[in-house]
Structure 1
């Protein structure tokens, strides 16, 4: 059984209605690694619904959190003065709207593209609207009880004058301070400079600290399930303390959980927007279809880390998805891998694939076409000529055009040099020995005799291998050298069938 279904069944044993939560602090560009949380939550919400339950997916935007420092991408933009202010009150880098919206809006576009449509909770607005008033009052009225919980669970001692509220000064900047007087809902405090301020907690002037804020969300929003990163799941971490806080202070119940591993940028480590070591969700959706991004998350168990390689790994990722897609449509009996494919679809309704463009859906095949044809029209003409595409409709052209854009973007941004090629108009200079020239003659004979299609072209190399003492790999290299001037290239059968006339290939080989 797929992991999402296992979790869904466990949740449905407790009740039919569920609130599945996810969230993030929009402190910078929201990257591919951050997609794991929301897509894991979305998969479980879908699985609950598929099993007859009801599930609401919510996404909490922690816009009340402060800007903690000037990140590398903010250097020389004058953000030093905004450190400590809530993200909802800071201007955007382009001066259009808030800092939080500047990073959230593109992310919401990415969510829409991958078929995720949560109810968004703006945490800054929630505080201002009084959503957390009861939890805030319970926290401030039970300081010693909370102190005991946090110190026992975390193993760390809190300062003597600790108070369960993050203060703001008159300018709205979050600061630390010493409480002088507290009488609900007013707290009076003194900052490090000796200045005295008051906050009206009931009006959301400030916020609960993270270890109190998180369980407050569970209680107010009625969260029954949440997926979160391993940093929150350590012994004595914020989930452990949250369980005690929500039970003993807020009078609620903690949600069921799934802990997920990081998505690492291959060879670099875990993605972090703050360090610049990340690729945004929007960027990656310009090089792969949304269902392939979902597949990246749906196939492995959440507790398995993912090495994401935007280079050659994209070909492996798309190829893996395409193979399962073909197998899904051929087999009535569905496996866990097929279920991962179902959960990878943008639409919950599974559509038959393979009937639109067949093998042209292959990312690798499109990679060949994009590098050898100058226009979409030329690509379609080649596909018609060899019988892969019987007719072209507006739907097909629109579909193929979008996938071509993915491949073009990948070639320009991430493709390694060994993937790129160019058909040489002039005959490349190659010094072939007698054995190689003999094999070239055999290949010419084969090419003249066969039907000019991908399968026959591919098989001809192995027939020549059987006739000669040269392995097929070396024979492929000879033909690549003759056509491309390099000893590697795209899948030979599809490449020759869709891009080059038989006469051109034969004439080029005979020139040696």
Structure 2
């Protein structure tokens, strides 16, 4: 056993805590199917969002943790519930009127409003797979439509017909009286309209595997439950899928948490063993509302990747999965910088610390070295001060700060410079507000400008950025700022148009001493201020 795998047995990081449940599950006997099956579900009623990514990323982290402490092979199945009827038209897709004509039809029958795929369901499945492939996930994809129509679900559907009363007993106990009167775990596909029907059953024949119901034209119809003619309601479908596929682990959001007992009960009623689960907290948008596929609120995957790396998003997913988190633009810069902080710490950590470090989980135990010699937050402020519109302009400053760095030797830094320019132009510049300096602040800024103009370099043996930071501190103290935070806040608001900013000595070293002196002169003259 390696040092890391030995340390993993006592590791406290949440992926290892979840993985240990699976080790215990098969402590006496390995699974008959020959592997441990992890599953994630996706409802393609709308475009994939970051919450969807979160399930796959977090499940993968648990899977990799399990592989370090167990020799049992693993698989990850990403299951798309694409046979569901489209209950409402998502707000963030084109051709709304066209889609309204196809309500309640299976998603893999509804026309694709984007005109690129066989159906809306196929389009959203392709988007899901595209973004999963972007992140390099190892997975198998499964379509509910294909599973139902090909017969892969036939055995469990026939068993559901046989054990209909047991399933209904579980379901009816969870429903209001009014809903109980019309509920059935089976949803037939209308032979006449092709719509998914939410209708009561007139008869369920467990011996023949057939159901009888009233079709939309008012006639009674009897059809077999096999061959894709019938699907299961979403709660029974959870448990039935677990039983059919022998799923060992699935996580889901807090909104599903109260249904765990139902899912498990139906799985057992159908002869399966309920999987291990993990319930995570929901992601919220900037206003604190739950992210919704149909509304399209919150960040999309493509939006995050416009402004930051895939790894920074993976870090955001790793942190505190059982705590609700705002998924908004302003979390991106911190996620980037924190990711690189963890990368820099990793090489000097012992085995236990490495397994607690998010980058072990993000990179499957093999994290790269960080090449971000300039923090992302500082790159943002550089873009602001330099009025940079592309990363080439940023590199003119970066090379002076880190002469050894080039886009070729520091590809992560190069990408971050481009991300910073885009983030600044789209998410910072439109909201910047400069203000005029107070009398005290103006005197201090003028003093700082004078000292920068007289600067001849850091004393021998001292770091340039640290020496400049000491100059900034000294000016603040000498000009009577009792709380130096007020001094730095003034610098940021007058010179950068923001209430927060970078460690200013490092910013001066990056932007340039003479350039910072010129920036102060503009700020004091009011050339930066939106006030006039």
| Fold in common (TM above 0.5) | yes
1:28 offset after TM fit, Å?
0.7
Distance in 1 between residues matched to 2:352 and 2:215, nearest whole Å:
63
Residue equivalent to 1:499: 511
- Structure 1 486/118 Cα, relative in aligned 2: closer, same or farther at 3 Å? closer
- Aligned with residue 417 of structure 2, among 381, 404, 412: 404
Counting only pairs closer than 5 Å after superposition, residues 452-471 of structure 1 correspond to structure 2 as 453-470=464-481
Residue equivalent to 1:64: 83
Residue equivalent to 1:424: none
Distance in 1 between residues matched to 2:380 and 2:444, nearest whole Å:
32
- Structure 1 129/457 Cα, relative in aligned 2: closer, same or farther at 3 Å? same
SS state at 1:72 partner: coil
- Structure 1 443/94 Cα, relative in aligned 2: closer, same or farther at 3 Å? closer
Contact 2:508 2:516 in 1 (8 A): no
Residue equivalent to 1:120: 141
Contact 1:263 1:308 in 2 (8 A): yes
Distance in 1 between residues matched to 2:201 and 2:519, nearest whole Å:
88
Counting only pairs closer than 5 Å after superposition, residues 222-261 of structure 1 correspond to structure 2 as 222-234=246-258, 237=259, 239-248=260-269, 250-261=270-281
Which stretches in structure 2 are left out of the alignment for 5+ residues? 1-11, 459-463, 526-532
SS state at 2:25 partner: coil
1:41 offset after TM fit, Å?
1.3
Contact 1:110 1:285 in 2 (8 A): no
User: Could you give the per-residue CA deviations for residues 382-427 of structure 1, whole angstroms, max 9, x where no partner exists?
Assistant: 22223x131425353x433322332233234433756688xxxxxx
Distance in 1 between residues matched to 2:81 and 2:201, nearest whole Å:
25
Residue equivalent to 1:18: 36
Number of equivalences: 492
- Structure 1 286/106 Cα, relative in aligned 2: closer, same or farther at 3 Å? farther
Deviates more, 1:144-153 or 1:33-42: 144-153
User: Could you give the per-residue CA deviations for residues 294-329 of structure 1, whole angstroms, max 9, x where no partner exists?
Assistant: 1112121x3222222322x32333333333332223
1:259 offset after TM fit, Å?
1.0
- Structure 1 145/182 Cα, relative in aligned 2: closer, same or farther at 3 Å? closer
Distance in 1 between residues matched to 2:88 and 2:186, nearest whole Å:
21
1:79 offset after TM fit, Å?
1.2
Does residue 195 (structure 1) correspond to residue 210 (structure 2)? The answer is: no
Does residue 96 (structure 1) correspond to residue 116 (structure 2)? The answer is: yes
Distance in 2 between residues matched to 1:214 and 1:153, nearest whole Å:
15
Distance in 2 between residues matched to 1:477 and 1:188, nearest whole Å:
72
- Structure 1 506/49 Cα, relative in aligned 2: closer, same or farther at 3 Å? same
- Structure 1 210/319 Cα, relative in aligned 2: closer, same or farther at 3 Å? same
Deviates more, 1:374-383 or 1:126-135: 374-383
Distance in 1 between residues matched to 2:360 and 2:503, nearest whole Å:
29
SS state at 2:152 partner: coil
Contact 1:19 1:223 in 2 (8 A): yes
Residue equivalent to 2:427: 414
- Structure 1 337/494 Cα, relative in aligned 2: closer, same or farther at 3 Å? farther
Deviates more, 1:98-107 or 1:144-153: 144-153
Does residue 384 (structure 1) correspond to residue 399 (structure 2)? The answer is: yes
Does residue 111 (structure 1) correspond to residue 123 (structure 2)? The answer is: no
Counting only pairs closer than 5 Å after superposition, residues 15-54 of structure 1 correspond to structure 2 as 15=26, 17-53=35-71, 54=73
SS state at 2:322 partner: coil
Distance in 2 between residues matched to 1:198 and 1:415, nearest whole Å:
62
Distance in 2 between residues matched to 1:410 and 1:433, nearest whole Å:
33
SS state at 1:58 partner: strand
- Aligned with residue 291 of structure 2, among 260, 263, 271: 271
- Structure 1 463/254 Cα, relative in aligned 2: closer, same or farther at 3 Å? same
Deviates more, 1:89-98 or 1:436-445: 436-445
- Aligned with residue 445 of structure 1, among 433, 451, 454: 451
User: Could you give the per-residue CA deviations for residues 49-86 of structure 1, whole angstroms, max 9, x where no partner exists?
Assistant: 12233221111100111101123235734211111111
Residue equivalent to 1:293: 313
Does residue 131 (structure 1) correspond to residue 152 (structure 2)? The answer is: yes
CA root-mean-square deviation: 3.3
